[in-house]
Structure 1
Amino acid sequence: MKLNRIAPLGALLVAGALVLAGCASNEAAADNSTDASASASTTLSGTINGIGSSAQGTAQQTWIAGIQSANPSLNINYDPQGSGAGRKSFISGAADFAGSDAALKDEELSGTFAMCAPDTKAIDLPVYISPIAVAYNVDGVDDLKLDAATIAGIFSGKITKWDDAKIAALNEGATLPDDRIIVVHRSDDSGTTQNFTEYLAANAADVWAKEASQTFPYQVGDAAKGTSGVAEAAKNAKNSITYIDESGIGTTGLKPAQLKVGDAFVKISAEGAASVVADSPLVEGREANDLAIQINRTDTQEGAWPLVLVSYLIACQQYQDAEKGALISSYIQYVAGDAAQQAAAQQAGSAPLSAELSAKVVAAAQSIK
């Protein structure tokens, strides 16, 4: 997938008002382009609250700033407590929507949702695509290369030294220290952990002897909460390694390792993450407007980055409070639009939704009542 040119963040504010004016009348929005010379009134007011993915944190800040600038009577609160906390809060009714780096599980969908109208369910709508980095803090090592089996060995505690023969074999000529590897992993129920362990289970099953899980499954290393927590812990620990949404690296000084995909080593990129998502099907057996994606973790096309997360906004198909449903419908349509996606790409380093996926998300969001 070739990404579109990133639009200036300032354009988001104008585009936001225009997209939302269209949302208010529930018109078809498959084409999310806007005319900056057009005029639009601010039509949205009220408050909605979301809890969830810390990986989405920067993107949510960007989206909320844009939509509220265009609609000053609208108030959106988002607390990046983590994907698991977001889903639990949404299910219980403590949040109007959730951000989650993992779609709802079958057992979650089989239950009830406090905010939703009786006999209706929640839907998963993908809004944020980002590569997960295997990021390290090792002096003198600038271009670390790893494959899935070696990553699995490190994070399961089977490989404990930086100069281990398996790491050295992938990094010929590198000066690797004779020091203990400090593994840093998430302490909370995390969609990033779910995606990371899915990748290892799919590509290194002979080493990673655990099923994919939102809770880190091995008793190894140090634990920290949220994207910012693991970033800070790895930053402050010499000879550390962690897995983290790429947006969380920021100015920490952590370096992303190259990943062996097929026979080639690949540098982390939003384009590589987006191409994997484009090649992945929807999960079967879901409601018509549920767009959960079955990520192809073994994708080996040129430049692919299969260690990718797709993060969702989870909402009711029908809310008990119709006014709240209308606000959330409008917000998700806005978030899935090109201007908002490009702004998030600029601020968070994410991959904008493809035109095809964006149109599907907008259409699904329009069905929310």
Structure 2
Amino acid sequence: MIEKKDIDLEKAVLIGIITKDQNEDKSKEYLDELEFLTYTAGGEAIKRFTQKMERPDPRTFIGSGKLEDVRQFIQDNEVGTAIFDDELSAAQERNISKILNVKVLDRTNLILDIFAQRAQTSYARTQVELAQCEYLLPRLRGMWTHLERQKGGIGMRGPGETEIETDRRIVRDKIALLKERIKTIDKQMAVQRGNRGKMVRVALVGYTNVGKSTLMNVISKSEVFAENKLFATLDTTVRKVVIQNLPFLLSDTVGFIRKLPTQLVESFKSTLDEVREADLLLHVVDISHPNFEEHIESVNKILGEIDSSDKPTIMVFNKIDAYEAEPFDETDLETEKTEQHYTLDEWKSTWMAKVGNNALFISALNKKNLDDFKKRVYDEVREIHITRFPYNHFLYPDYDDTLPS
């Protein structure tokens, strides 16, 4: 449940479709996530619209009849933004904008906007701006007059504000300039990574908002920004961590998400170099989320796209303090027991049992089972270190169960 604070949130409607590949439950789940994205961007979803169809309408995505229902609701309730759960084509966006006469965004545009808000360093801002320009390039025709009517807010940050009078040639030139700028920074970052020596590198990966930054703070005793919003962390943070007397580098990376815009995957590939160059991945999972298994699949898919799926990985199931199984009546012979009814112990006996000692269950927030976590990470890092430096392993004796606080 999203907690709304006393802030001025921009009113929005959410729009999704139900197809043979995306049933009603799946559509609801995606719209739940879209609502969280909307809240993260500074908006409040006051109504959802869904339409059952075989495939999206090539002109209006949800069909003219349903779109008229949306238009009427927007007009009656003074809504300023319509957000679609899938990426709209340039033609769809233009047609819908003419009919609704409000700001029209899709999931990609919304995520890009959140990244624009969250980018702190010049490097992250450059990466986001590149992704925004690549997204906007095929949508330039007819877009600027629509954008001129807007007063800022969700989806209006970045190039949309400064490039209104531009044309495709100027945007292409800007894309080329941004790519050159990123290349220059990439070289500098490669030198920085090389200067860190040959210490074992460990990277935290996972879906957005699973608690990676909180875990980073607990383990490294640092103050990495953590918040209950999506994409709280954009810039990769690297800290030196010492468990027992064994030092290693721990990096906190940007969270992944389903339907992650291809422009972002491409422009943030250099940021994900920390993942590619890691010796060990800690795949953090929010086990309290009802669809955490799909989150795992999404993360593994992106890891495959950046050639990092075959790295040694420890599955870290976080937020066990927030996990609640749905009640199940064993005497009810008509109701089938599903995964929603599993206790944590029952989950541990499923496919997780095959993961063995590479599946850990913790609460980073409440510091529960962190000693087991530290011991497992220590053992794995020590093994990697011994393999890399066979003559130095005597420096790192067997792990003492008594951990320093």
Which interval holds the TM-score relative to the shorter structure? under 0.3
Normalised by the size of structure 2, how large is the TM-score? 0.25
Normalised by the size of structure 1, how large is the TM-score? 0.27
- Write 1 or 2 for the structure with the bigger share of helix: 2
Q: Which has the larger radius of gyration?
A: 2
